[in-house]
Amino acid sequence: MTIVQTTPPPRLPVRAKAAARHRGWGGVSPMLTRLAEERATGVLVRERGTLHLAGGLVVHAESPAAPGLDVLLTARGTLDPDTWRQALTETGDRHRAGHLLADGGHLAPGALEVCRLVALYDAAYFALAPSSSPGRFRYADDDGPGCPCPVPVAAVERETLRRRDLLHRIWPDPATDEAPLVRAHRPASPTPTVRQRAVLERLDDVRTAADIARDLGRPAFHILVDLRRLAAAGVVAPRPRDPAPLPLLPPVPVPVPLPPPVPMSAPEVTDPHITLLLRLRDALEAL
């Protein structure tokens, strides 16, 4: 047998993990990374939220799962809700409204910037969650309202990955992140912290983590951390799903009773030949 020696094929290129960490993405959103490299300006719309870019930097993020800047500022008394609404009406933009309130002495500039960054990272975490549909980007002609401290895309993606890893290490089941929650009455449950007690007080078999975050005026990711820890301790669980209704069967038709048969009288036979045959039949049957 002849043995033919061939040159082995070259190895496929492997992306360096260190380089991926330096760039900040590990499969979070390749489209977002490309937009950052292009220094694009516009809005990236994803299934669970949006990211606003200016020159390739993130200036704002929104998600239905995360409370906005207005909730973080007004829910716990940092700012009067009417004062915020009036500033927003005058300026028409949340960034300008914040600057107006800071310039007017209603809000400390440091508190405004901290709340803005907290809201941005909080909403970006949900906006960059894995989705079943691709994102789409709408380019804009200008940078829109100015933002004092835009955030690099790499920083947003690194923080998103860090948060995913933290939640997975606390409790790998994400069922408590979105479902209505119930309290599991364990006979020997651990003593909750003050923040966890505030979360437990709002469990009513209807509220979700996002509802609790808006009610408490806290970042939604912080609520997820508390809920995962409570779920790991067996204190909180998703509300059981209602059993699916049985399919409706078509009505069984009721049988209609038939009228009794009418006895048929034998026809009168007048033909002598037929009469003879009938007599012979009867005689044979009688044997």
Is 8 domain-assigned? no
Q: Are residues 196 and 152 in the same domain?
A: no
What pLDDT score does 1 carry? 47
Chain-centroid distance, C-alpha 205: 18
Q: Which of 170, 196, 228 is the last residue of a domain?
A: 170
Q: Are residues 159 and 180 in the same domain?
A: no
Is 279 domain-assigned? no
Q: Are residues 73 and 102 in the same domain?
A: yes
Rounded to two decimals, what is the model's pTM? 0.74
Are the CB atoms for 62 and 121 separated by under 8 Å? no
Is 220 domain-assigned? yes
Taking the C-alpha atoms of residue 144 and residue 167, their distance in angstroms, rounded to an integer, is 34
Are the CB atoms for 128 and 162 separated by under 8 Å? no
Q: Are residues 210 and 233 in the same domain?
A: yes
Taking the C-alpha atoms of residue 209 and residue 203, their distance in angstroms, rounded to an integer, is 9
Are the CB atoms for 198 and 253 separated by under 8 Å? no
- Render pLDDT for 163-198 as a digit per residue (tens, 0 to 9): 999 999 999 999 999 999 998 877 667 789 999 999
Chain-centroid distance, C-alpha 9: 44
Q: Are residues 132 and 216 in the same domain?
A: no
Structural domain that includes position 183: 174-238
Query: Which residue in this structure is represented by tokens 């009288």?
Result: 265
| DSSP string across 73-141 | HHTTSSS-HHHHHHHHHHHSSHHHHHHHHHHTTSS-HHHHHHHHHHHHHHHHHHHTS--SS--EEEE-S
Is 272 domain-assigned? no
Is 266 domain-assigned? no
Q: Which of 221, 238, 255 is the last residue of a domain?
A: 238
Q: Are residues 29 and 135 in the same domain?
A: yes
Is 223 domain-assigned? yes
Q: Is the pLDDT reported for residue 93 higher than 90?
A: no
Taking the C-alpha atoms of residue 183 and residue 87, their distance in angstroms, rounded to an integer, is 40
Taking the C-alpha atoms of residue 147 and residue 99, their distance in angstroms, rounded to an integer, is 10
Q: Which of 116, 142, 170 is the last residue of a domain?
A: 170
Are the CB atoms for 150 and 57 separated by under 8 Å? yes
Are the CB atoms for 125 and 159 separated by under 8 Å? yes
Is 143 domain-assigned? yes
- Render pLDDT for 31-88 as a digit per residue (tens, 0 to 9): 999 999 999 999 999 999 999 999 999 999 999 999 999 899 888 777 888 988 998 8
* 50 three-class SS: strand
Instruction: Express as a percent the part of the chain with pLDDT over 90.
Output: 48
Q: Are residues 42 and 145 in the same domain?
A: yes
Q: What are phi and psi of 137, to 5 degrees?
A: -120, 130
Is 72 domain-assigned? yes
Taking the C-alpha atoms of residue 113 and residue 106, their distance in angstroms, rounded to an integer, is 14
Count of structural domains, the chain: 2
What pLDDT score does 77 carry? 78
25 vs 91 pLDDT, higher one: 91
Among 156, 196, 198, 169, CA closest to 61: 156
